[in-house]
Chain A
Amino acid sequence: MAKLKTRNEIRFILNGEDIALTTVAPEETLLDWLRLNRSLRGTKEGCAEGDCGACTVLVGRLSAGRLVYESVNACIRFLGSLDGTHVVTVEHLRGDGEKLHPVQQAMVDFHGSQCGFCTPGFVMSLYALWMRSPEPSDAAIEKALQGNLCRCTGYDAIVRAARAISSYGKAAKDPLAAERKAITAKLAAMKDDSRVEIGSGKQRLIVPANADDLASVLDKEPGATIVAGSTDVGLWVTKHMRDISPVIFIGNLDGLCTISENKGVISIGAGVTYSDAFSILAKRIPTLGPLFDRIGGEQVRNMGTIGGNIANGSPIGDTPPPLIALGAQLTLRRGKKRRTIPLEDFFIAYGKQDRQPGEFVEAVHVSVPAKGKKFAVYKITKRRDEDITAALGAFYLTLAKDGTVADVRIAYGGMAATPKRAFGVEKALLGKPWTEATVETAMAEYAKDFTPLTDMRASAEYRALAAKNLLLRFFVETTGTKAPFQVSRYEAA
């Protein structure tokens, strides 16, 4: 391997200005930098944990050479992770001459603001949506706004504004669209295949040049904090004031962001965001589409990664249960050594995963369910969207020709200290005819498989009851009923 260049500055574009920073604290957030260092105070702090969206800005990045602008939460986005991007804040929006931008004018005309504090965030989320989809459906509007809280308007005025934006101007004529080529070229030029290292001692951050470089960095710095989307680690800093140095930023890293399919097995690099994975997963494993739509808000999905969701080992991560049900495999890497294990074996106990020092999650591999297999995943939360799981059940069923259960894998989140299989339930189903009577018998096994906790999201009793009822829902779904078997906001597409 050719020796890598090392660079000691972060380079990106802020609105219309080229930025190069040689001093960046590992835990410095984009929001604080914008507000305190740049006095760009249109971007607000509402919660400092990526839930309210008042701090929404756009980050443009090259994804496989193509420039994409995505909404992100500046409050939990680390400044050091912005190398090679174009950061766009509300101050950059403008219409012709003195006029407001179409998104802004629509919001004004439809009375989309009251107190106005959340408004810049809404404007930025709608801006991202409009550039991508100038005539969005209501479902698309609501999905784009899942990560934006408004306490005044009740949202209807904002949605009315969102529907009307294109009557105020053409997305194709937007300044960002017009500057697309130039920005793409600039960002491409910034990618000089260097490793970025800033700071020293207890204030150190590293952006590896690519996945191989990450492997060598981590080999030397086994105790470093690995940050992909920072949707979790961001809170370590903003809420718990934890030191994360030395930190390695791996978001958008070459060699870690590919998603590919080979012989029915989809391999997802650890740096693939939910949003990037959605396009392929929702097509190849359609059951996962609606689940992905309920993970975080749009900003979190644009930042957060499936790899991070696995690596942080949370018992309430939304992707491990369905991946475990599907029999996914996980590849871990240290230096040049790789090992691949069943995903479910990665989760050892609460806060403990099978990851050795210096090792990192490189990819997860999941088989596309064969024809005839039944697969479902159900997430239960207090609020439908942008809420953390109370209980989540994933079911993968193979029926024999005689209608008995040939194979079944059931995995849950929120029901134990780790994502966990319902082995007792599976056993009670295996070999039995797939009937409601069998299901009812198996439902009794839940009490042996799980002893859930009571917390602010749900009581143990509710978790236990709802979790086992999900098996009944799964059964009803597999009967191919035309009657509704769950509530939904939108008719199935």
Chain B
Amino acid sequence: MTKHTPNLKAQKISGGVATDQRHDSAHKHVSGTAVYIDDMPEPAGTLHGCLGLCTATHATITKMDLSAVRAAPGVVDVLTAKDVPGENDISPTGRHDEPVLADGKVQFYGQPIFCVIAETREQARRATRLAKVEYKELPFVTDIGDLDPRKDKLVTPPLTLKRGDAAAAIKAAPRRLKGQMRVGGQEHFYLEGHIAMAVPGEDEDVTIYSSTQHPSEVQHMVSHALGVPSNAITVEIRRMGGGFGGKETQGNQFAALAAIAAKKHHRAVKIRPDRDDDMIATGKRHDFLVDYEVGFDDDGNILGVDFMFAARCGFSSDLSGPVTDRALFHCDNTYFWPAVHAQSAPLYTNTVSNTAFRGFGGPQGMVGAERVIDEVAFAVGKDPLEIRKQNFYGTSDRNITPYHQTVEDNIIHRIVAELEASSDYTRRRRVIEAFNANSRFIKRGLALTPVKFGISFTATHYNQAGALVHVYTDGSVHLNHGGTEMGQGLYLKVAQVVAEEFQIDLDQVKITATTTGKVPNTSATAASSGSDLNGMAAQNGARQIKDRLTDFAAEKYQVPRDQVVFLPNRVRIGNQEIAFADLVKQAYMARIQLSAAGFYKTPKIHWNRDKGQGRPFYYFAYGASCSEVSVDTLTGEYVVERTDILHETGRSLNRAIDLGQIEGGFIQGMGWLTTEELWWDGKGRLRTHAPSTYKIPLASDRPKIFNVTLADWPEASEPTVHRSKAVGEPPFPLGMSVLHALSDAAASVADHKVCPRLDAPATPERVLMAIERLRAKTRV
């Protein structure tokens, strides 16, 4: 940052809240100077690690001959489970079910069983292939379709939500139906893969640069694995090349192994897995089988719903408990279920342990809810949008969720009404009907789907944050907080909040790397909570300093406190104005503390999991999207013709950043429900472990017409930071409109009389097969 001369006459600071600032690192991103961990200069003598992955799906290891590995050129060490000096466990929820390196038994194909440490990364990779491992195979199960959610092994206790008597309501309903939906998982495909570099210090100390959304957890896991106190471990991260939940817990393994090797060999150690290894050995979004039964009347009013959400969790619990909980928390989406029973089954499978991914189970819950809506719409012969609207939560009644929280801030009616009008839904519906009547092979489909997303960690204690604010004697500010930057613009938003608080230009605020040494005991940057929590904590820190400055000025200049006013880059004290930097200098000379630790905890929230009741969410975020597709009914290929989105983020801190989150979230959600398919072969091997086989959306998969609008009228119902609302996850399920538009197009081959029951991801194959099923039914 070049030396800045603040404008002391400005009407407004530059870069305060509610201004469209560019990403703080944008100029570095485009010039290749933004430093990611692999770009840092390595300390002299840095060693490189490579994980040895097992080649059995479920087995005991009968022999592990690593002699050729050890003898390979450049190899310094080969770590196995016995080399873990502390606890061989990185289970983030303390269930002790996830070893750093598998010890004697492997539970999924690709589980790490050893780690080669060599002079170069290439030598480590080459040596890894020389291992001779023998296995005694055990029976395995990879697909949850082969399991009974009520009987088979779970990785963590399930959750039940109920309100009213769902079974009775369904039984008493004039009409009822049941079905099952498969909702696929998703690979994060952060462009920067996992990486950790550990630099040993004196005594027990080690500093780890880890591409993680959760530095405090990495700190704890490394301390357990090393068997040293947390205060010996410092974890730092300036930026990640994408996270999306995939770096909430999954970086622990790489950090722990790098740290173990670094302490053992007194040399820096870097571990950066190859993309394929990263995709094989780290967890993904949970896929679900959703069983549903619904009772409704002839008008399509839903009277009772019963859900079973069975999830493929993989071999360990990881975050599967809270993920499957959140699926249940969103099995209502925007709908009031008069009577509801919903149950989760976090199933054990011999697959990689699934983990957090943007939405954290919520989108899977919502997809289940939308399937129910579709079923009812087809059953009563109405446009699904009508069924959606008539089952929305009310604003003053019909507003109790399945977990007994009252929806107090419902704005979905207005969001959907505005989008329905701006997308020209009704007219296009007619145009599409006419098109389909005249087009033999190409069919169009249209759908408008709503989103309501609950904001807060459902683990209530996670809803706290800290920040560290220093004001230096030249008036420049150093900002640090517990949140991590993965591209979402969190650092920028929090800096805008601090600039606003001090009334100084944004470029006076230096954004610094997240480190456990500055702000301790932080929560993961997850659950869309980043700016809500850290923005408030930083604001609190800034306010403490501002208060001291105010007290100081009032006393020094002998004016009442309310005559000390922070104006842009200056402070009015009584009748005079002095530069902010000058006041700071004077305060320093008077020995006023110019540093503060800010803190925030979300009010109002509570949750009793045993009872399935409480207020887990501080508020809800809303949006809706409308998509139109063309489908080739000969091959199932499709294109998205147009998508309209209306989404809200309260009183946005930065509309440009929020729009980026909405556009990116939608595309990522669309990818999840369309082309992104995880595929295991009969031997339990994941075969889609590289971008050549796992297909995330491209620029040419964007809707041909893409209208994204940020609603300018909402504001947060609760006193959030400047009345803004969270934006990380809520836009992700907007992608549902594409799935439902595809379903709508498929339905046209059977005159919209049969629910296509199109599962996700709706690859061209699934679309064609759904069309074939419908054709077969209409032929009879």
**Chain-A contact segment, one of B236-244, B347-355, B466-474, B718-726:** B236-244
Q: Are A114 and B660 in touch, CB under 8 angstroms?
A: yes
With A385-B700, A455-B687: A152-B242 Cβ-Cβ less than 8 Å: yes
Which residue of chain A is the closest to B190 with respect to CB atoms? A151
Question: Would you give the 0/1 interface string for B643-682, flagging 1 where the beta carbon is closer than 8 Å to chain A?
Answer: 0000000000000110110011111100000010101010
Q: Are B768 and A114 in touch, CB under 8 angstroms?
A: no
Known contacts A151-B190, A154-B660, A487-B639; 15 additional CB pairs below 8 A are A108-B26, A111-B660, A114-B23, A119-B29, A146-B698, A152-B664, A156-B702, A159-B699, A380-B764, A383-B675, A456-B693, A462-B768, A469-B634, A473-B635, A487-B631
Q: Complex Cα distance A115/B659, Å?
A: 15
The reply on A417 being an interface residue by CB < 8 A is no
* Chain A at the B interface: SS class: loop
Question: Would you give the 0/1 interface string for B684-699, flagging 1 where the beta carbon is closer than 8 Å to chain A?
Answer: 0001101111011111
Question: Would you give the 0/1 interface string for A475-491, flagging 1 where the beta carbon is closer than 8 Å to chain B?
Answer: 01000000111111100
Q: Are A484 and B486 in touch, CB under 8 angstroms?
A: no
Q: Are A47 and B275 in touch, CB under 8 angstroms?
A: yes
The reply on A41 being an interface residue by CB < 8 A is yes
One of B276, B486, B632, B695 near A239 (C-beta < 8 A): B276
Q: Complex Cα distance A146/B695, Å?
A: 12
Q: Are B700 and A142 in touch, CB under 8 angstroms?
A: yes
Which residue of chain B is the closest to A490 with respect to CB atoms? B704
Q: Are A49 and B679 in touch, CB under 8 angstroms?
A: no
Q: Complex Cα distance A487/B31, Å?
A: 38
The reply on B191 being an interface residue by CB < 8 A is yes
The reply on A492 being an interface residue by CB < 8 A is no
**Chain-A contact segment, one of B5-13, B34-42, B144-152:** B34-42
Closest 6 CB pairs between A and B?
A: A42-B32, A115-B487, A117-B241, A116-B29, A154-B667, A114-B487
B-chain residues with CB within 8 Å of residue A32 when the two chains form the complex = 122
B-chain residues with CB within 8 Å of residue A14 when the two chains form the complex = none
One of B36, B242, B702, B763 near A151 (C-beta < 8 A): B242
The reply on B439 being an interface residue by CB < 8 A is yes
Q: Complex Cα distance A384/B638, Å?
A: 9
Q: Are B675 and A466 in touch, CB under 8 angstroms?
A: no
Q: Are B764 and A382 in touch, CB under 8 angstroms?
A: yes
With A465-B772, A470-B635, A473-B634: A114-B190 Cβ-Cβ less than 8 Å: no
Q: Complex Cα distance A385/B699, Å?
A: 9
Shortest beta-carbon distance from A87 to chain B in Å? 14
Q: Complex Cα distance A107/B189, Å?
A: 22
Which residue of chain A is the closest to B704 with respect to CB atoms? A489
For the complex, count residues of A whose C-beta is within 8 A of B: 89
With A90-B32, A151-B242, A489-B700: A111-B656 Cβ-Cβ less than 8 Å: yes
Q: Are A142 and B699 in touch, CB under 8 angstroms?
A: yes
The reply on B27 being an interface residue by CB < 8 A is yes
One of B668, B690, B764 near A49 (C-beta < 8 A): B690
Offer 9 A-B interface pairs, CB within 8 angstroms, sorted by A: A47-B690, A111-B660, A143-B700, A150-B699, A151-B696, A154-B660, A159-B702, A238-B274, A387-B695
Shortest beta-carbon distance from B440 to chain A in Å? 7
B52-102 contacts to A (CB < 8 Å): none
The reply on A217 being an interface residue by CB < 8 A is no
Q: Are A487 and B632 in touch, CB under 8 angstroms?
A: yes
Q: Are A51 and B691 in touch, CB under 8 angstroms?
A: yes
Q: Are A241 and B242 in touch, CB under 8 angstroms?
A: no
The reply on A206 being an interface residue by CB < 8 A is no
B-chain residues with CB within 8 Å of residue A154 when the two chains form the complex = 660, 663-668, 697, 702
Q: Are B27 and A100 in touch, CB under 8 angstroms?
A: yes
The reply on A397 being an interface residue by CB < 8 A is no
The reply on A33 being an interface residue by CB < 8 A is no
The reply on B683 being an interface residue by CB < 8 A is no
Which residue of chain B is the closest to A294 with respect to CB atoms? B700
Question: Would you give the 0/1 interface string for A133-161, flagging 1 where the beta carbon is closer than 8 Å to chain B?
Answer: 00000000111011011111111111100
The reply on A91 being an interface residue by CB < 8 A is yes
Shortest beta-carbon distance from A459 to chain B in Å? 6
The reply on B636 being an interface residue by CB < 8 A is yes
A-chain residues with CB within 8 Å of residue B677 when the two chains form the complex = 382, 456
Which residue of chain A is the closest to B489 with respect to CB atoms? A114
Question: Would you give the 0/1 interface string for A31-68, flagging 1 where the beta carbon is closer than 8 Å to chain B?
Answer: 01001000101111111110110100000000000000
The reply on B125 being an interface residue by CB < 8 A is yes
The reply on B129 being an interface residue by CB < 8 A is yes
With A380-B635, A470-B634, A487-B637: A113-B26 Cβ-Cβ less than 8 Å: yes
Q: Complex Cα distance A142/B703, Å?
A: 12
Shortest beta-carbon distance from A465 to chain B in Å? 7
B-chain residues with CB within 8 Å of residue A103 when the two chains form the complex = 30
The reply on A118 being an interface residue by CB < 8 A is yes
A-chain residues with CB within 8 Å of residue B36 when the two chains form the complex = 44, 117
Q: Are A52 and B191 in touch, CB under 8 angstroms?
A: yes
With A151-B244, A156-B663, A476-B441: A120-B765 Cβ-Cβ less than 8 Å: no
Q: Are B30 and A119 in touch, CB under 8 angstroms?
A: yes
Which residue of chain A is the closest to B680 with respect to CB atoms? A456
Q: Are B191 and A117 in touch, CB under 8 angstroms?
A: yes
The reply on B706 being an interface residue by CB < 8 A is yes
The reply on A416 being an interface residue by CB < 8 A is no
B-chain residues with CB within 8 Å of residue A44 when the two chains form the complex = 36, 38, 191-192, 241
Q: Are A456 and B687 in touch, CB under 8 angstroms?
A: yes
Q: Are A384 and B191 in touch, CB under 8 angstroms?
A: no
One of A52, A120, A143 near B691 (C-beta < 8 A): A52
Shortest beta-carbon distance from A109 to chain B in Å? 7
Q: Are A145 and B769 in touch, CB under 8 angstroms?
A: no
With A241-B129, A380-B637, A473-B634: A118-B660 Cβ-Cβ less than 8 Å: no
Q: Are A487 and B442 in touch, CB under 8 angstroms?
A: yes
Q: Are A115 and B635 in touch, CB under 8 angstroms?
A: no
The reply on A176 being an interface residue by CB < 8 A is no
The reply on B422 being an interface residue by CB < 8 A is no
Q: Are A107 and B699 in touch, CB under 8 angstroms?
A: no
B102-130 contacts to A (CB < 8 Å): 122, 125-126, 129
Question: Would you give the 0/1 interface string for B250-294, flagging 1 where the beta carbon is closer than 8 Å to chain A?
Answer: 000000000000000000000000111000000000000000000
Q: Are A459 and B765 in touch, CB under 8 angstroms?
A: yes
B-chain residues with CB within 8 Å of residue A472 when the two chains form the complex = 634
The reply on A93 being an interface residue by CB < 8 A is yes
A-chain residues with CB within 8 Å of residue B487 when the two chains form the complex = 113-117, 152
With A48-B274, A48-B275: A384-B242 Cβ-Cβ less than 8 Å: no
Shortest beta-carbon distance from A431 to chain B in Å? 26
A-chain residues with CB within 8 Å of residue B698 when the two chains form the complex = 142, 145-146, 149, 155, 383-386
A43, A54, A111 — most chain B CB neighbours (10 Å): A111
Which residue of chain A is the closest to B129 with respect to CB atoms? A241
Shortest beta-carbon distance from B8 to chain A in Å? 26
Q: Complex Cα distance A105/B26, Å?
A: 9
Which residue of chain B is the closest to A103 with respect to CB atoms? B30
B-chain residues with CB within 8 Å of residue A49 when the two chains form the complex = 275, 690-692
One of A104, A381, A390, A488 near B30 (C-beta < 8 A): A104
The reply on B171 being an interface residue by CB < 8 A is no
The reply on B461 being an interface residue by CB < 8 A is no
Q: Are A115 and B239 in touch, CB under 8 angstroms?
A: yes
A-chain residues with CB within 8 Å of residue B637 when the two chains form the complex = 380, 384, 486-487
B-chain residues with CB within 8 Å of residue A149 when the two chains form the complex = 189, 191, 691, 696, 698
Which residue of chain B is the closest to A161 with respect to CB atoms? B30
Q: Are B191 and A100 in touch, CB under 8 angstroms?
A: no
Q: Are B242 and A115 in touch, CB under 8 angstroms?
A: yes
Which residue of chain A is the closest to B638 with respect to CB atoms? A487
Which residue of chain B is the closest to A32 with respect to CB atoms? B122
Shortest beta-carbon distance from A182 to chain B in Å? 24
Which residue of chain A is the closest to B485 with respect to CB atoms? A115
Q: Are A115 and B126 in touch, CB under 8 angstroms?
A: no
B440, B664, B698, B765 — most chain A CB neighbours (10 Å): B698
The reply on A458 being an interface residue by CB < 8 A is yes
A-chain residues with CB within 8 Å of residue B696 when the two chains form the complex = 149, 151
A-chain residues with CB within 8 Å of residue B32 when the two chains form the complex = 41-43, 89-91, 120, 123
Which residue of chain B is the closest to A124 with respect to CB atoms? B32
